Amino acid sequence: MEKIKPRTLSGFMELLPGPQMQMNRIMDIISSSYALFGYTPLDTPLIEASEILLAKGGGETEKQIYRFTKGDTDLSLRFDLTVPLAKYVSLHAGELAFPFRRYQIGKVYRGERAQRGRFREFYQADIDVIGDGQLDIANDAEIPATIYTVFSRLGLRRFQIRINNRKVLTGFYAMLGLTEKSGDIMRTVDKLEKIGADKVRAILVDDLALTGEQADDILRFIAIRGTNGEVLAALETYRGRNGTFDEGLDELATVARYLGGFGVPEENFAVDLTIARGLDYYTGTVYETALLDHPEIGSVCSGGRYDDLAGFYTDRKLPGVGISIGLTRLFYVLGEQGMLNGEASTAPADTLILPMTGDLSAAVALSTELRARGLRTMLYTEAKKFKAKMAYADKLGVPFVLFLGEDEIAAGVVSCKNMKTGEQEKLSNAEAAERIAAYVAQQRSLPPIVEK
Amino acid sequence: MEKIKPRTLSGFMELLPGPQMQMNRIMDIISSSYALFGYTPLDTPLIEASEILLAKGGGETEKQIYRFTKGDTDLSLRFDLTVPLAKYVSLHAGELAFPFRRYQIGKVYRGERAQRGRFREFYQADIDVIGDGQLDIANDAEIPATIYTVFSRLGLRRFQIRINNRKVLTGFYAMLGLTEKSGDIMRTVDKLEKIGADKVRAILVDDLALTGEQADDILRFIAIRGTNGEVLAALETYRGRNGTFDEGLDELATVARYLGGFGVPEENFAVDLTIARGLDYYTGTVYETALLDHPEIGSVCSGGRYDDLAGFYTDRKLPGVGISIGLTRLFYVLGEQGMLNGEASTAPADTLILPMTGDLSAAVALSTELRARGLRTMLYTEAKKFKAKMAYADKLGVPFVLFLGEDEIAAGVVSCKNMKTGEQEKLSNAEAAERIAAYVAQQRSLPPIVEK
């Protein structure tokens, strides 16, 4: 028969079993952390009617969308989890309790130009809180507190959640009489880290026709640095000149204050006036998250406050605040940086039973006993030579091998080999199970990510 | 602004938060049970090149496929998890350890005619074991043992995994000189439960041109009933007349014997000669699973042994055995039948903190403490009236509400209300946490499914 060469599409992450275990562990920690904060899990379809997904229009995104017809229906694959959330909340509003807090970890699709580290199918891990008409500012602090919990539990320490408020920025630009240009200015200032202050100033003056003085005022403003207290104090000196600015400053101060109460240490969040987020729909708090030792990879978790989640579907005003971890890209980067914890086992089982007899009855019974004790137990079934059996154990990286031959069966014991130490002992089933369980418990305490 | 009416495509399951929690609980139990047996989790792309997915040709399936082009690439959404597995194993064979055991729970797509209970996007939850060249028959027993564990842990008791072996059937038809017609005969016999013995006989005689005697022999054969021991004993009376039959009978007897060792009670599996599975690619053991009180819904979990997983991609012979739970349909049916356990909480949090002060600092600190203790804690943030706050708690179904007003803050306590009993007490944070944790532990022991 003629063969078709198997392949996976470029831009689609397909992991080998070991890395997949690492990815799953990370996803488990993200979802359990999200759940800890009372977000409810959602799972919306990957396909939506195109008119729904594109209600807002798309611009750059629209070109990237996977769009097709089936029968006479115009369909698209979701390109983020926010538009499906907007649809969900407006469709089911009557049945939801507000504030509605949900998390969703799911694949989204964007037909980006294929290149290393860019994915066309990738996971986003989102949380959002949606209010009915209004939503308290405390939520803007709880969102980054959730992310702090996620990142800490993953094993990260050297990260910083950077927080700003769009009202502070728009209020500031209003003070300078630059309200109409504020969108363009923010998009320019957003590039500060990438292109540097000189180039930002050049764009402001040459392209946006600001005076040199205005450009310098802006650069001085966004250069405000220091502890969160110092930055907030510096902002206080602008108070009283613009209502929007004052409102934004109050919000920023409240968020910073509650963040402490949520247990987030100072070193993991920073009020940072350079953060603006390019997207127009953020209206208040905005977030970015940097891995401090890897500034080159940019923000790994971003979001913000928006006034109106679902204006395209409903007249109901639904303000919200949310954040999204670009999970597939983050996982890819962590792998590239060698930050996935090699001490954490990626074996599909805690123990592998290697029967040394033709009949497998005793091995089958042992597997059943170990599984009843909660141990992930693999039973080797093939009639191969000893060497092949051991090679199998090695390749899988199982921590414990249990040999079961005629002698062991007769004596009611197993030969338990610790594959790391090489130590081998005859033990009762219960003793072997205890030894393995102790290892599993110790493994569970290992974070999936390590910083070097 | 003109609104677009939000909607979800028909044939796409989109759950409200409560049912979604039930679904997630079921998925968690399935995946942890699969993991217990040493299957490794995989997560392959939802999109594949059409030439890969359709390598085998499709027939009926091909018409249902979601197929489209992006740029100049011909793409399709996966319609099962088996073809992607075949691709994965042949693509990565050099890096895998055989037998390769994997589980995958993922969405697949089939553009079926929309009707109640039929889904175009649905979850399958598959396990497969793939051998390199050969694969021991013990695996054919471990597969249904895994399913037994899954179903039992879900709370099901009244189910039966029905097992047969295609070699027994083909061997039997060879004895009757009907080898060439055996495929058609098996497809006909497969309909026995649906259309009854008389109609099966009519098709065999009228359409397939069997003699009346041959038809009666077949009906007598597939009418063999009794305990597994009795059925196997009845089959022994045919031994020695056909090599394939004898081989199949040996396999069937071994599977039945090991199933006991895997802890599967007699009442949950049955050797059933009427099970054939329509698909041609099964070559040995075949499985179906019935919910005994709901025969009308057909098999909820089916699969079998195949000789050659990936013949379209590779010369390497990869025999395997696997089974698939049609999860979305199963969940739908369980809901329809009222079998989802109403005692199991579907609240997004174990407790809801209702602050009774304008400043939320104390409530924020309490939420942090409870989360550190592992309790899913929701913080109510809005400045609403008491009645609205309680309505929120009711709607979410949170089991415990913690009131935190000035009195409580001053006294260093919380007012803890058990929402089920209505009982309310002032407790220290630690006491409240213990009370909630006890409830959570009790909840964890409740299965997601109940039989009536």
Mind giving me the DSSP string for B222-261? Answer: HT--SSHHHHHHHHHTTTTS-HHHHHHHHHHHHHHHHHHH
Residue of A nearest to B374 (CA): A36
Contacts of B80 (CB under 8 A, 6+ apart): B108, B124, B324
Percent of chain B with pLDDT over 90: 89
Chain A residues in contact with B106 by the CB 8 A cut-off are none
Distance of CA A442 to the CA centre of its chain: 25
- pLDDT value of position A389: 96
Residue B392 to residue A348, Cβ atoms within 8 A: no
- pLDDT value of position B174: 95
Tell which residue, A306, A108, A57, has the closest CA to residue B4.
Answer: A57
Residue A153 to residue A34: CA distance in whole angstroms: 11
Checking if the pLDDT of A280 tops 80, the result is no
Residue A189 to residue A199: CA distance in whole angstroms: 10
Chain A residues in contact with B1 by the CB 8 A cut-off are 311-312
Residue B52 to residue A4, Cβ atoms within 8 A: yes
Q: What does the mean pLDDT of chain A come to?
A: 95
- pLDDT value of position B197: 92
- pLDDT value of position A151: 98
- CATH of segment(s) A17-336: 3.30.930.10
Q: What does the mean pLDDT of chain B come to?
A: 95
Count CB pairs under 8 A between chains A and B.
Answer: 267
Residue ranges of B 71-110 with Cβ closer than 8 A to chain A? 71, 73, 75, 86-88, 90-92, 95-99, 101-102, 107, 109
Helix residue spans in A54-181 (DSSP H): 60-64, 82-92, 138-154, 166-175
- pLDDT value of position B277: 75
Give the one of A45, A315, A348 whose C-beta lies nearest to B9's C-beta: A45
Residue of B nearest to A55 (CA): B4
Cα-Cα-Cα-Cα torsion A343, A19, A28, A436, nearest 10 degrees, comes to -40
AA letter at A293: D
Residue ranges of B 58-77 with Cβ closer than 8 A to chain A? 66, 68-71, 73, 75
Q: Which residue has the higher pLDDT, B298 or A396?
A: A396
* Mean pLDDT value across residues A2-26: 96
Residue of A nearest to B91 (CA): A6
- Dig out the tokens for B252 from the structure: 């069937």
Asked if the C-beta of A254 comes within 8 angstroms of chain B's C-beta atoms, the answer is no
Residue A189 to residue A277: CA distance in whole angstroms: 10
Could you report the per-residue pLDDT of B99-131, keeping only the tens digit for each?
999 999 999 999 988 788 889 999 999 999 999
- pLDDT value of position A190: 81
Asked if the C-beta of A203 comes within 8 angstroms of chain B's C-beta atoms, the answer is no
Asked if the C-beta of B345 comes within 8 angstroms of chain A's C-beta atoms, the answer is no
As beta bridge partners, residue A51 has none
Residue A142 to residue B379, Cβ atoms within 8 A: yes
Pair A90, A82: CB distance under 8 Å: no
Could you report the per-residue pLDDT of B187-218, keeping only the tens digit for each?
898 888 889 999 999 999 999 999 999 999 99
Pair B159, B276: CB distance under 8 Å: no
- pLDDT value of position A2: 81
Residue of B nearest to A375 (CA): B36
Could you report the per-residue pLDDT of B368-400, keeping only the tens digit for each?
999 999 999 999 999 999 999 999 999 999 999
- pLDDT value of position A77: 97
- pLDDT value of position A95: 97
Residue A309 to residue A322: CA distance in whole angstroms: 11
Give the one of A5, A43, A348 whose C-beta lies nearest to B38's C-beta: A348
Residue ranges of B 347-376 with Cβ closer than 8 A to chain A? 348-349, 352, 360-361, 364-365, 367-368, 371-372, 374-376
- Comparing B78-87, B100-109, B270-279, the range with the smallest average pLDDT is B270-279
Angstrom distances, CA of residue A38 to CA of A191, A439, B325, B420, B439? 35, 31, 30, 19, 17
Could you report the per-residue pLDDT of B304-337, keeping only the tens digit for each?
999 999 999 999 999 999 999 999 999 999 999 9
Give the one of A46, A71, A348 whose C-beta lies nearest to B40's C-beta: A348
Q: Which residue has the higher pLDDT, B191 or A4?
A: A4
Residue B379 to residue A35, Cβ atoms within 8 A: no
Residue B1 to residue A312, Cβ atoms within 8 A: yes
Residue ranges of A 129-148 with Cβ closer than 8 A to chain B? 131, 134-136, 138-139, 141-142, 145
Query: Mapped to the 3 state alphabet, what secondary structure does A287-338 carry?
Result: EEEEECCCHHHCCCEEEEEECCCCCCCCCCCCCEEEEEEEHHHHHHHHHHCC
The helix (H) or strand (E) run that includes residue B76 is strand B73-77
Percent of chain B with pLDDT over 70: 99
Asked if the C-beta of B32 comes within 8 angstroms of chain A's C-beta atoms, the answer is no
Residue A92 to residue B15: CA distance in whole angstroms: 10
Whether the predicted model's global pTM rises above the 0.90 cut = yes
For A256, phi then psi, to 5°, come to -60, -40
Q: Could you give the residue range(s) of every CATH 3.40.50.800 domain in chain A?
A: 351-444
* Mean pLDDT value across residues A129-144: 97
Distance of CA B228 to the CA centre of its chain: 25
Chain A residues in contact with B307 by the CB 8 A cut-off are none
Give the one of A99, A313, A395 whose C-beta lies nearest to B382's C-beta: A99
CATH top class, domain A351-444: alpha beta
Residue A261 to residue A60: CA distance in whole angstroms: 40
Q: At how many degrees (to 10) do helices B361-372 and A138-154 cross?
A: 20
- Dig out the tokens for B373 from the structure: 């203790």
**Number of neighbours of residue A339 by Cβ within 10 angstroms:** 19
Q: How far apart are the first and last CA of chain A?
A: 51
- pLDDT value of position B113: 80
- pLDDT value of position B194: 85
Could you report the per-residue pLDDT of A65-98, keeping only the tens digit for each?
999 999 889 999 999 999 999 999 999 999 999 9
- Dig out the tokens for A310 from the structure: 């679902």
Give the one of B1, B16, B361 whose C-beta lies nearest to A261's C-beta: B361
- A23: three-class secondary structure by DSSP: helix
Percent of chain A with pLDDT over 90: 89
Q: Could you give the residue range(s) of every CATH 3.30.930.10 domain in chain A?
A: 17-336
- pLDDT value of position B1: 65
- pLDDT value of position A278: 66
Could you report the per-residue pLDDT of B149-162, keeping only the tens digit for each?
999 999 999 999 99
- B95: three-class secondary structure by DSSP: helix
Asked if the C-beta of B281 comes within 8 angstroms of chain A's C-beta atoms, the answer is no
- Please state whether the peptide bond connecting residue B99 to the residue before it is cis, i.e. omega within 30 degrees of 0: yes
**Number of neighbours of residue A180 by Cβ within 10 angstroms:** 10
- pLDDT value of position A279: 61
Residue A352 to residue B38, Cβ atoms within 8 A: yes
Chain A residues in contact with B73 by the CB 8 A cut-off are 9
Chain B residues in contact with A17 by the CB 8 A cut-off are 40-42, 96, 102
Residue ranges of B 387-426 with Cβ closer than 8 A to chain A? 392, 395-396
Distance from CA of A33 to the nearest CA of B (A): 9
Q: What is the DSSP string of B280-318?
A: TTEEEEEEEEEETT-GGG--SEEEEEES-S-TTT-SS--
Checking if the pLDDT of B24 tops 70, the result is yes
* Mean pLDDT value across residues B224-250: 96
ipTM of the predicted assembly exceeds 0.90: yes
Pair A419, A437: CB distance under 8 Å: no
- pLDDT value of position A58: 63
Distance from CA of A53 to the nearest CA of B (A): 10
Residue B91 to residue A396, Cβ atoms within 8 A: no
